[in-house]
């Protein structure tokens, strides 16, 4: 993994967005042929997850 790509990944995960390519790879490996979220939907899903108020919503620190 290049240095730049890793930095970008770190920055994205800091605000709760995991790697989209890793998601695609996971879907391809475990659910081949099934539909995947588009980049936009993936992003929206992650925003809702991070700031959602449902079970498992990440807590905040002081």
Helix then strand then coil, % of the chain, to nearest 5: 60, 0, 40
> Residues 13-42 vs another protein: string with x where CB under 8 A?
xxxxxxx--xxxxxx--x--------xx-x
Q: Is 56 left (phi over 0), alpha (psi -120 to 50) or beta?
A: left
> Which of 11, 32, 34, 35 is in the footprint of another protein by CB under 8 A?
11
> By CB under 8 A, is residue 4 in contact with another protein?
no
**Residue 60 interacting with another protein (CB under 8 A):** yes
Spatial separation of the C-alpha atoms in residues 42 and 23, rounded to whole Å: 9
Binding site for another protein (CB under 8 A): 1, 6, 8-19, 22-27, 30, 39-40, 42-54, 56-62
């Amino acid at each position: 993994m290049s240095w730049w790509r890793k930095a970008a990944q770190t920055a994205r995960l800091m605000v709760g967005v995991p790697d989209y390519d890793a998601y695609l790879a996971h879907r391809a490996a475990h659910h081949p042929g099934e539909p995947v979220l588009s980049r936009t939907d993936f992003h929206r899903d992650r925003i809702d997850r991070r700031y959602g108020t449902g079970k498992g919503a990440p807590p905040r620190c002081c």
